Chains A and B, each alone.
Chain A
Amino acid sequence: EPEVTQTPSHQVTQMGQEVILRCVPISNHLYFYWYRQILGQKVEFLVSFYNNEISEKSEIFDDQFSVERPDGSNFTLKIRSTKLEDSAMYFCASSGLAYQETQYFGPGTRLLVL
């Protein structure tokens, strides 16, 4: 069964460093999403991406964040200058044809900023 994959599973970085989180969505999906979950808190929407551009973004998704689909398979989230409060689990998801389709989630990347 097709699945969404994410790398790395864990990343530790120093405050101020740039990190890139990678996702490979399900191959025939058109919509891609990033979410984050700070430890002990609810999942929060960051951004959705369709047709090589951002469809929606939340207030959390400020200039420090960017997303890219550099090739036909990868979908990346870049955090330019990490802060302590960026420590969280980051989930990638994809869905088929529309927002209203079921989203399939990757296993997450646990980011720790020291």
Chain B
Amino acid sequence: KNEVEQSPQNLTAQEGEFITINCSYSVGISALHWLQQHPGGGIVSLFMLSSGKKKHGRLIATINIQEKHSSLHITASHPRDSAVYICAVTSNSNYQLIWGAGTKLIIKP
């Protein structure tokens, strides 16, 4: 049983395209996180949100608590955006971070 589901699993797009990655979760949460994992393995936190929308540069993250759904958008995508994007949620029952399987994004020049 996957408590955090992401779609798509893989996404290839051309430079400049608008990218959307989706995340659905089935548990009660106190926060949702979007993270980026580089090919070398390093993990960087992009966003942590519990409601509404956050924007940082070309990245936008939204969450709909009622629908238990979040999206990560990348505007004007660039080859350097190529990475695995992971959705994770902080469970409000045990405060553990539950991770999705990730979306592998490739942006072609």
A residues in contact with B45, CB < 8 Å: 102-105
Which label, helix, strand, loop or mixed, suits the secondary structure of the B interface?
A: strand
* A residues contacting the other copy or chain, number (CB 8 A): 25
Which label, helix, strand, loop or mixed, suits the secondary structure of the A interface?
A: strand
Contacts A99-B30, A102-B48 given; does A55 touch B41 at CB 8 Å: no
Cβ distance B4 to chain A, nearest Cβ, rounded Å: 9
Of all chain B residues, which has the CB nearest A33?
Answer: B97
Tell yes or no: B39 within 8 A of A by CB: no
Report A97-114 residues with CB < 8 Å from chain B CB.
Answer: 99-105, 107-108, 110
| Contact (Cβ within 8 A) B96 A56 | yes
Encode contact with A along B78-99: 1 for CB under 8 Å, 0 otherwise: 0000000010101000111111
Besides A99-B30, A102-B45, 18 more A-B contacts (Cβ < 8 Å) are A35-B97, A35-B99, A42-B99, A42-B100, A43-B88, A43-B99, A44-B99, A45-B96, A93-B43, A100-B31, A100-B48, A101-B48, A103-B97, A105-B43, A105-B45, A107-B41, A108-B41, A108-B43
Question: Could you tell me which B residues sit within 8 Å of A by CB distance?
Answer: 30-31, 33, 35, 40-45, 48, 50, 86, 88, 90, 94-102
The 8 closest A-B pairs by CB, nearest first: A105-B43, A43-B99, A45-B96, A99-B95, A42-B101, A102-B45, A42-B99, A102-B48
